[in-house]
Amino acid sequence: MNDSQFLTRSEVSKLLGVSPNTVTRWAREGRLACLVTLGGHHRFDREVIEQLRKQQYRALRDDVDDPKG
């Protein structure tokens, strides 16, 4: 496992603008794919999170461009 390929819940929370607890909840609910270390810590694939961040940005941008929906 290449450490630079994976992000911690704190890093994910900063990138997505949500709390670390939200990241953990999403992981437990299956909304965010993750690996769980032997110590029970969640690790998230950097590429997956970057794609989600881009989608989030596009959705926000679309709402600003067309506020009526």
30-48 pLDDT, tens per residue? 999 999 999 999 999 999 9
Considering just the CA atoms, what is the radius of gyration of the chain in Å? 14
Q: What is the pLDDT of residue 58?
A: 74
Domains and CATH numbers, the chain: 3-65 (1.10.1660.10)
CA distances from 31 to 22, 23, 61 (A): 11, 9, 22
The closest of 55, 42, 57 to 12, measured between CA atoms, is 42
What sections of the chain are H helices per DSSP?
Answer: 9-16, 20-29, 46-65
Q: Report yes or no on whether pTM surpasses 0.85.
A: no
CB 48 within 8 A of CB 7: no
Pair 40, 9: CB distance under 8 Å: no
